[in-house]
Amino acid sequence: MAEQEIRDQIVALLPRLRRFAMSLTGNLSDADDLVQDTVERALKNLHRWQRGTRLDSWMYRIAQNLWIDTVRSSRARPTTGVEALEARHVFDGAGAVDAKLTLADTCRALGELPEEQRAVVALVLIEGVPYREAAQILRVPIGTVTSRLARAREALRARVFGADAEMPETGL
């Protein structure tokens, strides 16, 4: 695959990478900075990408590692804003207000999750990355992905719908 083809694939990944970055950082400005840093690092290290492997997984891993470095250096706990999930949904009809309030509550609850759970939710539930691939991106066993996701779903359910509520069919 020619270098220009790889660069074109990176450009095509930008919307997904931006959503993932938004899930990690909690605000659009930091997400855009993270995407820019991720693309810069990827282009600088393009020779390290193994042809035949998934470019998107490699890019997610770079973004995750850069974000971990940023959090460690600043010691600031990030939160997740409404913009991350709003970018994926368009609301129309009578349920728009309720859906928007639930989305806002979900985003707020997502921001309260530990970073490890937030990253798994962003990859698996928001981006649709398979569990095995998420485990590779995060460099953890697949069982860790499964347990983090289960704990995250339970925490989101409790925070958004109440401790005794059943999880509605929303994909979470």
Tell me if residue 41 falls in helix, strand or coil.
helix
Which pLDDT band, with edges at 50, 70 and 90, does 5 fall under?
Answer: confident
Report which of 70, 57, 58, 87 is spatially closest to residue 24, judged by C-alpha positions.
70
Phi-psi region of 130 (alpha: psi -120 to 50; beta: other; left: phi over 0): beta
pLDDT of residue 63: 92
Question: Quick one: CA torsion of 54, 55, 56, 58, rounded to 10 degrees?
Answer: 90
Structure tokens at 118: 């937030």
Give the pLDDT of residue 161. 80
In a domain, 11, yes or no: yes
Mean of all residue pLDDT scores within the chain: 80
> Which carries the bigger pLDDT value, residue 46 or residue 164?
46
87: confidence class by pLDDT, cuts 50, 70, 90: very low
pLDDT of residue 84: 47
At 79, list the tokens: 């939160």
Digit-coded pLDDT (tens) for 113-131? 898 998 999 899 888 899 9
pLDDT cut 90: percent of the chain above it: 32
Q: What is the CATH number of the domain that holds 81?
A: 1.20.140.160
> Can you give the pLDDT at residue 51?
84
Query: By residue range, what is the domain housing residue 119?
Result: 3-161
Residue 30 covered by a domain = yes
Residue 145 lies in a domain: yes
Please check whether residue 135 lies inside any domain of the structure.
yes
For the chain, the domain total comes to 1
Cα 56 to Cα 12: distance, rounded to the nearest angstrom: 10
Query: Is 57 within the bounds of a domain?
Result: yes
